[in-house]
Chain A
Amino acid sequence: MSTPSTPPSQPASLPRSNVALIGSPNSGKSLLFNRLTGLNQKVANFPGITVDISAGKSLIDNSTEYLDFPGVYSLHTISGEEKLAVEAFYKAMDADHLDAVICVVDATRLEKGLIFALQVVEACRRYNKPLLIAANMTDVLEQHKMQLDTQGLADALKVPVLPISGKTGFGLENIPSAIASAKAPTEAYGIAGDIIASDDSLIHRQAQQLANKYGPKGDLLINAQTKLDSFFLHSWFGGLSFFVIMYLLFQSIFTWAAPVMDGVETIIQVTADFVLARVPEGMASDFIADALFGGIGAFLVFVPQIFVLTLVVGMLEDSGYLARAAVICHKPLRVFGLTGKSFIPMLSSVACAIPGIYAARTVDSPRKRWLTYLAIPLMPCSARLPVYTLLIAAFIPAQKALGGLIGWQGLAMFGIYVFGIVCALLVTAVVSRSNAELRSDLPFVLEMPPYRLPSWRPLLRNAWNRSKHFVTKAGKIIFIVTVVIWFLGYFPNQGASLGDSWLGTMGQWIEPVFAPFGLDWKYGVAILTSFLAREVFVGTLGTLFGIEGAEENFVSLSQQIQDSGLPIGSGVALLVFFAIALQCVSTLAVLAKETGSWRLPTQLFISYSIFAYVAAFLTFHLVEFLV
């Protein structure tokens, strides 16, 4: 947590009550927070997802502000991230920033939640803060006809206990009034004394007794979970299902998204032809054709892929399977210096490195987390997808291989994905063996979340938001870059000759850098602009080919590249270059924020740039030699 965002002191004219949501990891705080505030914090069925405190105004009455805290197992914890959360919690209590506390307890794992709740009762008693215990996930209990005696529990603890479900929304309307009437606990529960600092086994015993007395009876849920575990972690079926799931993930991006992508491309094409037919020839029509449709249109085609990828990764996150995948991958990843927990950030990075870097907080061992950071920028993120798709469409024939079983293009895409992952693992393997830097290590201990059927609505909403974010955020950069590129490429000779334009003159200086792998200056310029964000490559190239080409109609960029006669070695070299180079300003900035300094991002940027250049150079010569 870089800045525990406890709100600053409130102006006196605005009496606003701050309510903290705390609880053990994966108890459903963030989903509840989203429901109460209408915000969109990340929710996933894996412990330790929330890493920063976020604040949001209540939808019901906006004088209440809720604070979503990262989950912690104990209030006297000592492990890194959790310690920061606990400190922030105490600080907020101490500075009187909190007016009430809601302790969220997973009713299906009551004992675990109560261990923490007992500590919270004691903390609230000391700080004189009103406390409400929210027994969450009651929808699951109901589904299995299980009972929770909230009244009995409330009487025993002398703290109100409210049954709720963050999923169905059950009981949420009672929260404001329950908070308003909640009081600070006055009695210590059970054996008086220092419960927070006392021996764990004492709290455990008390929590156990309470759970046995008032909680749902029976082993139904845990037995169901174990049954599924014995399939998903089975020697044969476990490995097999892992590969099937990863294959489906990969397939979904390409097969499900393909028709939509074609649709978007057609729409752009039709719109372009329609608009251009109505604009008089001249500079305006050139600008519309080259910069707007050529540059920005080329990148909009990839939005459906981002949508599908986010959706599928979200499904996996919600199902509880990721924790099993972490168990399966632990031993193999250890060979490369990583841990099973690195699997989740690495998988998220297939969508985008930024959530991947945040997800790396779930890797509790500082050393392993640091190594995971090295791997993340090499994972094939979706910003590379437009570049890969473009280059593969331009260079790889659309024929079937292996007796029609799979297309060459699909195989090439698979190959470049595997290439990125292999690079990532090789880097961590080498660095973990050669770097004896003393970073503390932690063993692998992971709570297994329950299996759940993913709930569609939040997943779709999340995928939609991410696509929107992609369009607005990346779209803005791409728009500016393409306009600048178009301007420099169009003048001073009104697009008559790209080579003699201002950009062409500048390009001549860049050309020698990329000439060793057979690329002319247009690609050089596109690569340089892509250091802002990878997708910009496609936009820039689209604009440049647009100015250069004299086509009347819209011709796809891959077709134009194909027609330009670029050698295949250069195409493959470009693929390799993009697989390795760290061309993403946001990744660097987030890494700096997460590691607390610019040291690691700077090192990674320089070394991955050199690595990418050398690998592309070797690839070019190898391919040209072979072909």
Chain B
Amino acid sequence: MTLWDLTQGTSATVSAFAASIEAGYRTRLSELGFHPGESISCVMAPSLGAPKLYRVNNTVYSLDDSIASMIEVA
């Protein structure tokens, strides 16, 4: 399952990044707190495929499908 599959109001722990992810993206996500072991909740999943809102500790980020589907969660 990936981060993009999380539905509104649920949370999960990051387990890994997709193998195809670019190193640059991966670092950026890590800087923001999306790294293995971190618990992340989906606070808002707007309709029509708009980017979803994810909460990492006390900050909310929005990620679109292309990147959220590269973060594997368990």
A residues engaging B (CB < 8 A)?
73-74, 77-79, 108-112, 115, 200-201, 204, 208, 211, 219, 221-222, 225-226, 229-230, 233-235, 238, 323, 327-328, 330-331, 340, 442-448
Contact = CB atoms under 8 A, between A and B. Distances in A.
Contact of A233 (B44, B58, B63, B67): B44
A77 B31 contact: yes
A110 B59 CA distance: 9
A331 B48 contact: yes
Nearest to B25: A443
B60 A327 contact: no
B64 A200 contact: no
Contacts of A79: 24, 28
A316 B57 CA distance: 26
Nearest to B67: A443
B50 to A, nearest CB: 5
A112 B62 contact: no
A73 B32 contact: yes
B31 A445 contact: no
Contact of A444 (B31, B32, B35, B62): B62
A328 B50 contact: yes
B69 to A, nearest CB: 10
B20 interface: no
B36 A327 contact: no
Interface centre among B37, B38, B44, B46 (most CB of A within 10 A): B46
B60 A226 contact: yes
A200 B47 CA distance: 33
A340 B30 contact: no
A442 B51 contact: no
A446 to B, nearest CB: 5
A226 B35 contact: no
Contacts of B61: 445-448
B38 to A, nearest CB: 7
Given A235-B47, A235-B48, 17 more contacts: A73-B31, A79-B24, A110-B58, A112-B58, A115-B31, A201-B35, A201-B37, A221-B58, A222-B60, A226-B53, A234-B46, A327-B46, A327-B53, A330-B51, A445-B28, A446-B61, A446-B62
Contacts of B67: 443-445
A445 B55 contact: no
A204 B67 CA distance: 21
Given A204-B33, A222-B55, A235-B48, A229 B38 contact: no
B21 to A, nearest CB: 9
Given A331-B49, A443-B67, A230 B44 contact: yes
B66 interface: yes
B50 A331 contact: yes
Interface string B13-49: 0000000000011011111110111100001101111
A323 B28 CA distance: 19
B23 to A, nearest CB: 8
A229 B53 contact: yes
Contact of B35 (A108, A111, A200, A233): A200
B63 to A, nearest CB: 5
A112 B67 CA distance: 21
Q: Which 4 A-B pairs have the closest CB atoms?
A: A443-B67, A444-B64, A235-B47, A200-B30
Contact of A448 (B29, B53, B64): B53
A333 to B, nearest CB: 11
A200 B50 CA distance: 29
Contacts of B35: 200-201, 204
A312 to B, nearest CB: 24
Interface of B: 24-25, 27-33, 35-38, 43-44, 46-51, 53, 55, 57-64, 66-67
Contacts of A219: 58
A108 B30 CA distance: 21
B62 to A, nearest CB: 5
Contact of B38 (A204, A230, A442): A204
Given A200-B35, A204-B38, A445-B67, A225 B28 contact: no
Contacts of A74: 31
A330 B64 contact: yes
B9 to A, nearest CB: 10
Nearest to A448: B60
Nearest to B49: A331
A447 B31 CA distance: 12
Contacts of A445: 28-29, 32, 61-63, 67
B44 A229 contact: yes
A522 B51 CA distance: 52
B59 A112 contact: yes
Interface centre among A201, A225, A445 (most CB of B within 10 A): A445
6 contacts: A109-B58, A200-B35, A201-B37, A225-B60, A226-B44, A447-B61
B12 to A, nearest CB: 17
Nearest to B30: A200
B59 A109 contact: yes
B31 A200 contact: yes
B64 A208 contact: no
Contacts of A442: 24-25, 28
A432 to B, nearest CB: 15
A129 to B, nearest CB: 23
Nearest to A444: B64
A443 B43 CA distance: 20
A229 B51 CA distance: 13
Contacts of B37: 201
B43 to A, nearest CB: 5
A315 to B, nearest CB: 22
Nearest to A215: B58
B31 A111 contact: no
Nearest to A112: B59
Contacts of B30: 200-201
B57 A208 contact: yes
Contacts of A331: 48-51
A73 B67 CA distance: 18
A210 B23 CA distance: 29
Contacts of A235: 46-48
Nearest to B46: A233
